[in-house]
Structure 1
Amino acid sequence: MILTVVILLVVLLALGLLFVPIQIFIDTDTGKYYAGLGGLAKASFESDEKELLRVRLKVLFYEHCFYPLTKPSKPTKSKKTKPKRRIKFRQMVRLLKSFEVKRFALDMDTGDYVVNAKMYPIFVFLNQYVASFHINFENHNRLVVDIRNRPYRILKTFINH
């Protein structure tokens, strides 16, 4: 009886993890860059005084910061090489199509008035039909991207085809 309850809980937990949203968020105006797994885990990319990039990793109640651009102090041991598994181009396209772009906003200034004026009609067209595109003449650049997916949709791209 207890074994079936434990197995049932493990299966329900695994099924629940398949439907947890994966979010990738980039905002160049506020400096927020992170990838998250629906409240369970979050990796934030931040600037730091000591290094160029610091990654703050939060998993449930555990928080850890590390610097990915520094070399490890321990010498790495040689590992056995495994044959590389290539991902087909069609599979990669299906994987990219499984992601949803919830928000995309681009506010751009090239610094050249003539180029800005030439890009203005293109940005008006894109703003009307694709996403939020704006051209400005105030030397202000901004990009906001919010991309989401779920693990079951990623698995579905590899299993179905």
Structure 2
Amino acid sequence: MYLGIFLVLFLLLVLYLLVAPIVIYLDTTANTYYLKLTHFFKISLESDKVAVLKIRMQLFFFKFYFYPLRLKSSNKNKKTKKSTGLRQKRRAGLKKGYKILKTFKVKKLLVNIDTGDCILNAKLYPVFAVLNYNFGSFNINFAGKNQMVLRIQNRPFNIIKTFINN
């Protein structure tokens, strides 16, 4: 009885994890950069005074911090093997990577730039007007402000489906 209930709850959790959206969010003005699986975990990049960069990983209510730019002790005597057929592996990896990138959907795109050159800004104005009509929110300003907001969303099911279909 309890095993059946536990099994059903476990299967519902796995099903939810397959269809729950993965969100990648970048905002340059607020310095907010994160990858989030709704209600389960969040990995964000934060600035640090000492280590320059720290990665904050939040899993439910637990928080972990990693410092990727700290020096690690390593053995210099380790030998690396060169693999044969490296080009073929790279091509296959690039094709899979491209197919995985195609599964991501851009939910929000805001680009607001000033190049510092008023003539170049004026030349980019019609290009951004055409892009604004078709894709996202592209703006040219003459005030020296630069901003980019990008919100990308995907589902783990779509990523797994691309691996299976290849």
Regarding TM over 0.5, the answer is: yes
1:25 — aligned with what?
Answer: 25
| Map 1:31-110 → 2, pairs under 5 A | 31-72=31-72, 87-110=92-115
Q: 1:112 to 1:68 in 2, by over 3 A?
A: same
| Map 1:72-151 → 2, pairs under 5 A | 72=72, 87-151=92-156
User: Can you list the C-alpha shifts for 1:56-80, whole angstroms capped at 9, x where unaligned?
Assistant: 1100111011211112357699699
- Aligned-partner residue type, residue 27 of structure 2: D
TM-score, normalised with respect to structure 2: 0.85
Q: 1:128 to 1:69 in 2, by over 3 A?
A: same
User: Can you list the C-alpha shifts for 1:118-160, whole angstroms capped at 9, x where unaligned?
Assistant: 1111011111111100011111000000001010010011112
The whole-number CA distance in structure 1 between the counterparts of 2:19 and 2:95 is 24
Q: 1:52 to 1:14 in 2, by over 3 A?
A: same
TM-score, normalised with respect to structure 1: 0.88
The whole-number CA distance in structure 2 between the counterparts of 1:74 and 1:152 is 37
Q: CA deviation at 1:48?
A: 1.1
Segment drifting more, 46-55 vs 3-12? 3-12
Segments of structure 1 that go 5 or more residues without pairing to the other structure are none
Q: 1:148 to 1:76 in 2, by over 3 A?
A: farther
Matched length: 160
Q: CA deviation at 1:93?
A: 2.4
Secondary structure of 2:36's counterpart equals: strand
Secondary structure of 1:138's counterpart equals: coil
Q: 1:44 to 1:89 in 2, by over 3 A?
A: closer
Segments of structure 2 that go 5 or more residues without pairing to the other structure are none
Identity over aligned residues, as a percent?
Answer: 41
The whole-number CA distance in structure 2 between the counterparts of 1:88 and 1:41 is 27
